[in-house]
Amino acid sequence: MTAEDKSDETDTERIGSMGIIRFPGTSAGAGPLKNLSDIIDTFSKKTIIISGNETLEKVQASESINIIRVDHKPGENKFFKIINYIITQIRISFQMLKYPKIESYIFFYTDILLIPILVAKLMRKKILIALMADPIGYGKGIEGLDLILDLCYSLSHAILIYSENLIKEWNLDRYKKKIKLAHEHIIDTDKFCKKTNFSEREYDIGYIGRFDKEKNVMGFLRAISLLLKHNKLKQNTKIFLGGGQEEERVLKYIENQNLTDIIDFHGWIKHNELPDHLNNIKLLVIPSHTEGLPNIMLEAMACGTPVLASSVGSIPDFIDDNYNGFLLKDNSPKSIAKRLIEIMDYDEKKMKKVTKSSSTMVNKNFNFETVKNNYKEAIFDVIGYR
């Protein structure tokens, strides 16, 4: 929505002012923060965004959006990491105190922002915590993290999550009365759309994502190794592998398991190159151990690329198994391999039905207007604004 579009909305449809706080981080958080700021800008007369580092790289200031940069420097060891983390929270809180007229704050994070939340509470502001992922999963090994999280949730007026399945998975049952369902995922279906017919795609199977333990790329590769070992791969099967981090370990495994003839490694894929790559894959595998709502899943579905994914996070709330995608019983190599055999035996007619259903789901639920209206309804309900 443009500034001109926003001006068409009456003042009664917009609230006075909101703040968005996202702990300074990497560029991975830049897209979601931009989407959220675009959404909030449509119904807030004034918005301040406090963040820093690469997280701010896509957000633009305007007459109605004020950007406040607070950069963060990670420490070299555990002690200094904690100290610097606390210092950055204090600096964020100091900036909040400069804007006493802000009516409510959205804490948009996987990080724990107890100090700014306490400050917002002391300032008598409405506090909304929008969870992008499970903070417990991101903060493994931090003593007392669950207690800090409970305090944050208790101080909040609402907790925004992507879908129902996350209530149980992220242990939010005791806060059910505070839960609101809303997400900031907006898919540009002009870019992410079907361009290549299914039968013309080069790669039978694909994986695109980070190569860390959380994403379970090794489980995927072990599944491919099992299929090759037991002669379950069809002749001339080609597999697309795109991603980064821990590349040496991944590439060494591919070589040791004699997978180099069937797997093409493409390295890290730039976002503007994703539509073309997704249109060249017949099945995308997302075997993660934990997820929120993966963008790559939605982008693939919009491109008419069926997805086989772990039944974690919000994934089972948006993939109806065998209707608009495929779900794994578990994400062990054996389970991944078994499901791949089953799906690769489906005829083109069956896969076309799945791709049509998947793109329809994305077009219906992840366009700007639908996402904006859902977010607006959730926030207005919390702040008592009608």
Q: What residue type is 277 in one-letter code?
A: H
Using the structure block, give the residue that is written with the tokens 């503007």: 272
Percent above pLDDT 70 for the chain: 94
> What is the dihedral angle through the alpha carbons of 162, 167, 172, 173, rounded to the nearest 10 degrees?
140
Whether residues 95 and 238 share a domain: the answer is no
Q: Which tens digit of pLDDT belongs to each residue from 36-47?
A: 999 999 999 999
pLDDT of residue 131: 94
Q: Where are the alpha helices (DSSP H) in the chain?
A: 3-7, 30-41, 78-97, 114-122, 135-138, 145-155, 165-169, 217-229, 247-256, 274-278, 295-302, 315-318, 333-344, 348-365, 368-383
Contact 114, 151 (CB under 8 A): yes
Rounded Cα distance, 355 and 223, in Å: 24
> How is residue 128 written in tokens?
């909304």
Burial (Cβ within 10 Å: 0-12, 13-18, ≥19) of residue 148? middle
Are both 218 and 177 inside the same structural domain? Answer: no
Q: Are residues 215 and 157 in the same domain?
A: no
Asked whether residue 90 falls in the same domain as residue 152, the answer is yes
At residue 139, the pLDDT reads: 54
In this structure, is residue 191 part of a structural domain?
no
Please write the tens of the pLDDT for every residue from 17-43.
999 999 998 888 899 999 999 999 999
Q: Does 113 map to a domain?
A: yes
- Tens of pLDDT, residue by residue over 100-152, are 999 999 999 767 899 999 999 999 999 999 998 887 665 555 667 788 999 99
Taking the C-alpha atoms of residue 287 and residue 209, their distance in angstroms, rounded to an integer, is: 10
Kindly state whether residues 352 and 317 are assigned to the same domain: yes
Q: Is 109 helix (H, G, I), strand (E, B) or coil?
A: strand
Kindly state the average pLDDT of the residues 289-312: 96
- Its domain, for residue 142, covers 3-186+367-383
pLDDT, mean of residues 200-207: 96
Q: Of 78, 84, 87, 80, nearest to 142 (Cα)?
A: 78
> Are 292 and 131 in contact, with CB atoms under 8 Å apart?
yes
**Co-location of 120 and 243 in the same domain:** no
Structural domain contains residue 192: no
211 and 228 share a domain? yes
Do 41 and 65 form a contact (C-beta atoms < 8 A)? yes
Alpha helices (H) along 2-156: 3-7, 30-41, 78-97, 114-122, 135-138, 145-155
Same domain? 171 vs 211: no
CATH number at residue 361: 3.40.50.2000
- Mean pLDDT of the region 185-194: 96
Whether 287 and 315 have beta carbons less than 8 Å apart is answered as no
- Count: domains in the chain: 2
pLDDT at 339 over 80: yes
More confident residue, 56 or 109: 56
8 and 24 together in one domain: yes
Total-model pTM: 0.90
Q: Are residues 337 and 374 in the same domain?
A: no
240: left (phi over 0), alpha (psi -120 to 50) or beta: beta
Q: Which of 119, 104, 113, 131 is nearest to 29 (CA)?
A: 131
Position 328 in a domain = yes
Closest-CA residue to 139 (of 352, 4, 290): 290
Give the pLDDT mean for 233-251.
Answer: 91
